Amino acid sequence: MKRIITLVWKNGLAYLLSLLTASLLFPLIFMLLEPNSTYTWWVILILSSLGMPTILWSVTLSILVFNLIVYKIKNQFANNRMYSVGLGISLGTALFLIYLGSFSKHNQTLIVQNFLLLSGIGALFGFYFYSLIRKDVFSLNNSRRTS
């Protein structure tokens, strides 16, 4: 039970770190796409997305799917950070495709920004997952085998 709580805590930490990193890096890119915007406005906009229930539920489901895939195909993800980053990008892109219908009423710049943000946060989550959580997932798997 303690390992599961640790795993949930570290998944939350990895998500918050990826959201914080994205909110600090992506405004620089977005300011190039929207010249009249400010850095602070983008940081607030990205961080405020955490409070939206539809995004929070879909992100939670994506994190659960991410962990399930890594847990089931542990040999691929055990020693290669790029697999985790690639899986994060894939799940971020899948989230973008799910929300694409709600973005279609807007201009092309908003669609590009949302794609970059969702796939970028997915990549960052994969990176932080590999750095923080990988050992806990595989030790949880090994402890069940020995029991």
DSSP codes of every residue in 70-135: HHHTHHHHSS-HHHHHHHHHHHHHHHHHHHHHHHTTS-HHHHHHHHHHHHHHHHHHHHHHHHHTHH
Q: How far is CA 24 from the centre of its chain?
A: 15
Q: Which amino acid is at 63?
A: I
Residue 107: name the closest of 27, 33, 54 by CA: 33
**Is pLDDT above 60 for 147?**
no
Structure tokens at 51: 């409070």
Residue 118: pLDDT over 80: yes
- What average pLDDT does the structure give for the chain? 82
115 or 100, greater pLDDT: 115
Write down the pLDDT at residue 136: 65
Lowest mean pLDDT among 11-20, 98-107, 115-124: 98-107
Percent of the chain residues past pLDDT 90, beyond the cut: 19
Note the pTM of the prediction, 2 decimals. 0.83
Which among 3, 138, 16, 40 has a CA at the least distance from the CA of 84? 138
- Return the closest-CA partner of residue 92 out of 8, 33, 22, 25: 22
Task: Please answer whether residues 92 and 118 qualify as being in contact, where contact means their C-beta atoms are separated by less than 8 angstroms.
Answer: yes
pLDDT at 90: 93
pLDDT of residue 106: 66
Reported as a single tens digit per residue, the pLDDT across 64-96 is: 999 888 888 877 777 788 988 999 999 999 988
Confidence of residue 146 (pLDDT cuts 50, 70, 90): very low
- Radius of gyration, CA atoms only, the chain: 16
pLDDT at residue 143 greater than cutoff 60: no
Answer whether residue 125 shows pLDDT above 90: yes
Residue 128, pLDDT score = 92
Instruction: Give pLDDT, residue 99.
Output: 80
